[in-house]
Amino acid sequence: MDTPTMNRRSVLRSTVLVAGAAVALPSLVSLAGCSAPASISEQMSLISAVSDRIIPVTDTPGAVAAGVPEYIAAVFDKHFTKEQQGEFLSGLEVINASGFSSETPERQDEILNQFASASDGDAGRAIFQQIHDMTLFGYYTSETATQELSYEEIPGRYVACVPLSEVGRAWLDRGV
């Protein structure tokens, strides 16, 4: 039986890719002062409203305070293909057509729940899922999320099962 051999080039390539991603991610997340790309700037208030309903302000800052709309705009501008940008803007039009922006927060939650529970092929479900995922990723990789998640860089002893009442908040086991 042949044993697998290590290919140094593939290891180096993987290491460089991981290091590059680690360097690039904070710059994407810390875009609070940046302006949105022109192609999506008209939709920023809608993106802000949707992301704010997904992660609202509670005793911790919400998605808007964490810069999630700017993160979504940066992903849209830098990582989406023209086709994906068109689909994303069309999806935002579906949300806009529901009258989302002019509704009360309670009604906005109902609208988002309708999109979330729609069938798989529905355009409203697709855009909601995309904004939902981007909102969660943008929020929980931001510095703001450190206020919500407890973080201990070098944790103490390992305890497999701890009641939530003892620790108080969910714990983040990796640096943000």
Q: Shortest CA distance to 54 belongs to which of 38, 66, 41, 42?
A: 66
Q: Amino acid letter at 102?
A: S
Q: Three-state SS across 139-174?
A: HHCCHHHHHCCEECCCCCCCCCCCCHHHHCCCEECC
What pTM was estimated for this model as a whole? 0.65
pLDDT in tens, the chain (176 residues): 555 566 766 666 666 666 665 666 565 555 545 555 556 788 999 999 999 999 999 988 999 999 999 999 999 999 999 999 999 999 999 999 999 989 999 999 999 999 999 888 888 899 999 999 999 999 999 988 877 777 667 767 677 787 878 777 666 665 55
